[in-house]
Amino acid sequence: SEDVFNFLNNENFIDRFRMLGIKYLILSDNPREISKNSDDQKDWNTITELIDKNKFLAKVNWGTKIPIYKISDTYPKFFAVKQLVGVIGSQLFPSANSLVPSIYFEDGKLDPRNLEGLDSNSVNLVFNGTHKNDLAMSFLQKFFIGPSEASKKEWAIYSKDQYLKYKYELLIRGVKFTDFDYGKGIAFSTQKGEKIEYKFKVPQAGKYIFAYRIMVPSNNQTNFKWETKSLQLAKGSYSDVIENNSDLQILNVAALIPEKDFIEASAKAEIFTKHFTVMDPEILNVENNYEEVEMQKWGTLKYKFSVPEGFKWIIFSDNYHPLWKLRKGREYFNSVPVYSMVNGFYVDDKWNDLGIEFKGQENFRWGIYWSAISVLMLSIICLWFSSKNRKEV
């Protein structure tokens, strides 16, 4: 359904709470609500029953009137792991492998170029219903246009913020949607002949690839597939129309890619598959041990630490933000979105003088400085003109 608490139906949701460091689950309800109508009471009973029957939760008695449950074995705020699994395709969930430390090439958050040059044992690749060309396309995200940006659209359009809505709309039409959408949302059509049109700028004459990511369930597709065609274009603009020719088609993104960039992305995908180990998702066997990392706080949103021997990644369980950076001496390195939720930093146990910092604080501070300087300069100019006018009078 579209219910945001629907995830409670899978008792393994506790694994995610553990990873996020959540220690207690408090069913406070709405203390200002005097009484519930029958539908609200039914929903509340459903939630409390699901929680109460979950074998991974222990009810605690704090003398309160509201039910409180403890989550055991929660992860620390900072912990180290030896490997990440880089998934090209749908999420590794639900399964016994759901909490293998993973990154997702198609979630719209990961820049795969941040993995270039890393130790070959630090990441294993998994093609989960996808192929090497899907990996290649993940390097080309800067060219992607979502359905909401189409110039003409007859298809139903859903933004990335309507994720639960469009999953539900597809589910009632017999499609269990598990793919990521590159953070661009989707469009779908249930009427043959419906069209969606994309318009692109062509910066210079040359060879281009028009590509779009589509799923046609009637063709037994359960994942998105890339459709491509080569074009020779003049400078100016280019339009292309995608038409629904079946009972149901689902579209994610479209792109007009210079052939040179397309070839480079394919070469990078080839390098990745040779450099990192490629594993079968059906027999995924990755050590999921972790070790707590002691952090020394030395400023606002700044931490110092040392790498435990043999570990390659530091996981910081605050909400992922690209402005969290790893500091090595005076160098700074980008984070990756582990579990598509939290921050991960590549490290080497031979490195020293390491820290984790939020650079957004610095950007904010510089913004204040420049604003103050601008105000000061404007004040000086105004005073100068005011003084000049008085002298002339």
The reported pLDDT for the residue numbered 262 is 98
pLDDT interval class at 35 (50, 70, 90): confident
Rounded Cα–Cα distance for residues 150 and 262 (Å)? 22
Instruction: Check residue 353 and give left, alpha or beta (phi > 0: left; psi -120 to 50: alpha).
Output: left
H or E stretch at 262: helix 259-275
The reported pLDDT for the residue numbered 5 is 82
Share of residues in the chain with pLDDT > 70 (%): 89
Tens-digit pLDDT profile for residues 295-308: 999 888 899 999 99
3-class DSSP assignment, residue 52: helix
**CA-CA-CA-CA dihedral for 155, 161, 163, 168, to nearest 10:** -70
Tokens 């222990």 appear where?
58
Give the long-range contacts of residues 362-368, CB within 8 A, separation 24 or more: 363/323
Rounded Cα–Cα distance for residues 360 and 366 (Å)? 10
Q: Which two tokens stand for residue 336?
A: 């990756």
Rounded Cα–Cα distance for residues 1 and 340 (Å)? 22
Tokens 């630490």 appear where?
305
pLDDT interval class at 361 (50, 70, 90): low
pLDDT interval class at 242 (50, 70, 90): very high
The reported pLDDT for the residue numbered 287 is 65
Please, are residues 337 and 103 in contact by the beta-carbon 8 Å criterion? Answer: yes
Would you say residue 173 has pLDDT above 90?
A: yes
Average confidence score pLDDT of the chain: 89
The reported pLDDT for the residue numbered 281 is 84
Rounded Cα–Cα distance for residues 189 and 36 (Å)? 39
The reported pLDDT for the residue numbered 93 is 61
Per-residue pLDDT, averaged over 47-63, amounts to 91
Tens-digit pLDDT profile for residues 326-338: 999 999 999 999 9
Q: H helices of 139-248, where?
A: 163-171
Tens-digit pLDDT profile for residues 80-96: 999 999 999 998 864 54
Per-residue pLDDT, averaged over 39-47, amounts to 88
The reported pLDDT for the residue numbered 132 is 97
DSSP 356-379: EEEHHHHHHHHHHHHHHHHHHHHH
Rounded Cα–Cα distance for residues 63 and 67 (Å)? 10
- Exposed/middle/buried for 77, CB within 10 Å: 0-12, 13-18, 19+? middle
Would you say residue 275 has pLDDT above 50?
A: yes
The reported pLDDT for the residue numbered 392 is 58
Would you say residue 29 has pLDDT above 90?
A: no
Tens-digit pLDDT profile for residues 154-170: 999 999 999 999 999 99
The reported pLDDT for the residue numbered 6 is 83
Q: Which two tokens stand for residue 59?
A: 């009810």
- Exposed/middle/buried for 102, CB within 10 Å: 0-12, 13-18, 19+? buried
Cβ neighbours around 103 below 10 Å, total? 22
Q: How many whole angstroms from its chain centre is CA 317?
A: 14
Does residue 74 or residue 93 have the better pLDDT?
Answer: 74
Q: Which two tokens stand for residue 69?
A: 């449950």
pLDDT interval class at 171 (50, 70, 90): very high
Q: What angle do CA 214, 250, 132 make, to 5 degrees?
A: 25
pLDDT interval class at 369 (50, 70, 90): very low
Does residue 370 or residue 163 have the better pLDDT?
Answer: 163
- Is beta strand 68-71 parallel, antiparallel or unpaired with respect to 84-89? unpaired
Please, are residues 113 and 139 in contact by the beta-carbon 8 Å criterion? Answer: yes
Share of residues in the chain with pLDDT > 90 (%): 70
Would you say residue 364 has pLDDT above 90?
A: no
